Amino acid sequence: MIGKILILIIVLGIIPFCIGLIPVNLIDEKMRSIGVTYISGFLLSLGIFQLITVPIVIVSPWGFKLIVPLFTSITGILAVAGIGITIFLQKKGKTNFAAIKREHREKTTEEKVMWLIVFLLIAFQMFMAFTRTSFDGDDAYYVVQSLLTQETDTLYRIRPYTGLSTGMDLRHSLAVFPIWIAYIGKISNIHSTIIAHSVLPLILIPITYWIYLEIGKKLFKRDRKKLPMFMIFICIMQIFGNVSIYTNATFFLTRTWQGKSLLANLVIPAVLWLLLWIFEKEGYEKENRIGLWLMLFNVNIVAALSSTASVFLIALLIGVNGIVLGIQEKTIQIPLRLMITCIPLVVYGAMFLLI
């Protein structure tokens, strides 16, 4: 058991963080933090998995045996590259990742109490998600699909409801998040159901809240005392958001492991977070924003990994922002650049239609 936990720590913790060193070296030092590095690496690893897996799903029904060593090798190489690039740039004096200058101010007692409440609320959600895991009708497809992949090495070629062979399920096969769950189960030798219901909430819940934290830093940059109040508000909205089975809060805490939940609760906030960063008018040099554009491009790949609905939803979200910002700034460059970041969604949608 200890060995399996160590593998999970390496695969879901250390490797994504090291991979994240690559994109964060392309953004301003003031934007960097441990959390931003980890989130960037985690999303980049998911994007790489999508690029590797979709062609194999289409071409080879039994391609999971190829995906596991290929993805493991690529992420391992990128993790080493991230460490090497950071060390090299630090020696050249072109980056100072180890000593990021940040604004330090003494927090009031009220702020400390509110941050403690934030921590307790998030910990409570993680504890409940881990110990009171819920089962949903969709698990009969998504989790079983992960388990079938882990146990038989097939890729969407067995019908989960009956166990009989079938053709490629086009509706689901290009959104390969269940295959990623199967990969984590295979590499750690843990049942896919345990990965989905018990492990992923401990990863995805804090990542989601960290993204909201970064959004809050932008919204309340002139009054950071309001930031913990914002986080408490988000926590309360999630905890008490189960007003129907269709809300993002319901998916967030009861279907954390499903691609639809990943899209609604992690990908969409990540898009908004990066848009706030990219179009920040104060404090950062424009030439250091190439990393943010690349991160937004990758988030669109992750959107395709999570759900086929992303083709419309994320493209619409970015498109509306591009039109509004283009009109506000009186330039065509902004919508054009945002259109480029949507290329993964266009390609994904075209594949869906052609296949």
Confidence check: pLDDT of 170 > 50: yes
Residues 6+ apart with CB under 8 A from 95: 25, 29, 86, 89
| pLDDT over 60 (residue 7) | yes
Check residue 310 and give its pLDDT: 86
pLDDT for residue 285: 47
Return the pLDDT at 239: 93
**Distance from C-alpha of 224 to C-alpha of 15, rounded to nearest angstrom:** 32
Band (95; pLDDT cuts 50, 70, 90): low
What is the enclosing helix (H) or strand (E) of 288?
none
Specify the higher pLDDT residue, 280 or 66: 66
pLDDT at 225 over 60: yes
DSSP-derived secondary structure for 150-208: HHH--SS-B-TTT--B----HHHHT--HHHHHHHHHHHHT--HHHIIIIIHHHHHHHHH
Q: How confident is the model at residue 278 (pLDDT cuts 50, 70, 90)?
A: confident
Q: Are 43 and 299 a contacting pair, CB within 8 Å?
A: yes
pLDDT digit string, tens, across residues 30-78: 788 889 999 999 999 999 999 999 999 888 888 899 999 999 999 999 9
Quote the CA–CA distance of 352 and 355 in Å, as a whole number: 6
Angle at alpha carbon of residue 47, lines to 168 and 200, rounded to 5°: 85
The dihedral built from the CA positions of residue 316, 321, 324 and 330, taken in this order, carries a sign that is: negative
- Arithmetic mean of pLDDT, 249-267: 91
Q: So what's the pLDDT on residue 102?
A: 52
What pLDDT score was predicted for residue 309? 84
Task: Give the residue among 250, 267, 246 at the shortest CA–CA distance from 317.
Answer: 267
Closest CA to 27 of 314, 305, 292: 292
Q: pTM, whole model, 2 decimals? A: 0.91
3-state DSSP helix/strand/coil percent for the chain, to nearest 5?
Answer: 75, 0, 25
- What residues contact residue 51 under an 8 Å CB cut-off, 6+ apart? 301
What is the residue-averaged pLDDT of the chain? 87
Residues 6+ apart with CB under 8 A from 294: 23, 26
Predicted pLDDT of residue 101 = 47
Only one residue has tokens 């391992």, namely 76
pLDDT interval class at 100 (50, 70, 90): very low
Q: Tell me: pLDDT of 195 over 90.
A: yes
H/E segment holding residue 220: none
Residue with tokens 């409940």: 128
Q: What does the block give as tokens for 163?
A: 């166990």
DSSP 107: P
pLDDT over threshold 80, residue 242: yes
Contact 212, 234 (CB under 8 A): yes
User: Which has more confidence, 173 or 118?
Assistant: 118
C-alpha angle with apex 165: 160 to 170, nearest 5 degrees?
A: 70
Per-residue pLDDT tens over the stretch 290-317: 888 999 999 999 999 998 888 889 999 9
Two tokens at 246?
Answer: 């269709």
Task: Give the per-residue pLDDT at 61.
Answer: 82
DSSP β-bridge partners for residue 158: 165
Measured at the CA of 295, the angle between CA 290 and CA 297, to 5 degrees, comes to 95
**Residue carrying structure tokens 């039994």:** 62
Quickly state the pLDDT bin for 11 (edges 50, 70, 90).
Answer: very high
Axis-axis angle for helices 310-329, 268-278 (nearest 10): 20
pLDDT at 334: 87
- Specify whether the CB–CB gap between 214 and 273 falls below 8 A: yes
The SS3 of residue 15 is helix
